[in-house]
Structure 1
């Protein structure tokens, strides 16, 4: 398990959502996995996290390793997710795989019954990098 980077603010907000998420989400296994990994994450003040780290509300560019196809998406809180806008919940399999990872890391999750592997190419927007600490 690679150690994830997370801001203290993101950690506190996600911790506050834990019980409700475990009770209401269909992806409770993803939620359990995320919280297990967050317990071992390296927590930083928002102004000290690398601009290459995926934090909440970050927009990122990925490349699927098998096809070379590039996609961009945003990691959001569940209430802000919207598939049409490529805004994925942190509690989804995709969100769980990406939060706290760095540019250059490789991640995988299932898409349409098969395992898809991606490389993180770029963090296109990270709130902390531009001083947006309260998103």
Structure 2
């Protein structure tokens, strides 16, 4: 059974501060809305199954069942062809703060609805002891 977590998404204090600092850079509406609804936790207290900035996730498209490895990053580090997805992108904004097992939903720039399950977290900076990346 697929589970969508709404209002149970978490964001570290550091990620929240950095993203709020970028509000002047014209945050996409879906990301700006998320920042106002995510629960904020200290970096040392974020569970190891939550997608934070620079987390590497394995997602599975719910229609095609194709799996893809993505790393969530800030816009200046984005390299979509190498799997580095900006948090400013629709898919990036939908992944931020989600837990393993959740379904991320977003729309492509041309309006197509997409959804993918977060299968596993391959890497999360905080889980490895990195609280400043």
Normalising by structure 2, what TM-score? 0.89
Aligned residue number for residue 130 of structure 1: 128
- The answer to whether residue 83 in structure 2 is matched with residue 86 in structure 1 is yes
Report how many residues are paired: 127
1:115 Cα deviation from its structure 2 partner: 1.8
- The answer to whether residue 19 in structure 2 is matched with residue 14 in structure 1 is yes
Q: Partner of 2:114: helix, strand, or coil?
A: strand
Q: Report 1:54-133 matches (<5 A).
A: 54-111=51-108, 114-133=112-131
Contact 2:60 2:118 in 1 (8 A): yes
Q: Partner of 2:93: helix, strand, or coil?
A: helix
Q: Tell me, in whole angstroms, the C-alpha distance in 1 between the residues paired with 2:82 and 2:17.
A: 26
Q: Partner of 2:65: helix, strand, or coil?
A: coil
List per-residue Cα deviations over 1:10-53 (Å, max 9, x = no partner). Answer: 00000001112x1xxxxx5xx22212221121111111001110
Q: Runs of 4 or more off by more than 4 Å in structure 1?
A: none
Q: Tell me, in whole angstroms, the C-alpha distance in 1 between the residues paired with 2:41 and 2:14.
A: 9
1:113 Cα deviation from its structure 2 partner: 5.2
Q: Tell me, in whole angstroms, the C-alpha distance in 1 between the residues paired with 2:112 and 2:22.
A: 29
Question: Structure 1 unaligned runs (5+)?
Answer: 23-27
Normalising by structure 1, what TM-score? 0.88
Provide the alpha-carbon RMSD of the alignment: 1.5
Query: Which one has a larger percent helix, Structure 1 or Structure 2?
Result: 1
Q: Tell me, in whole angstroms, the C-alpha distance in 1 between the residues paired with 2:50 and 2:65.
A: 22
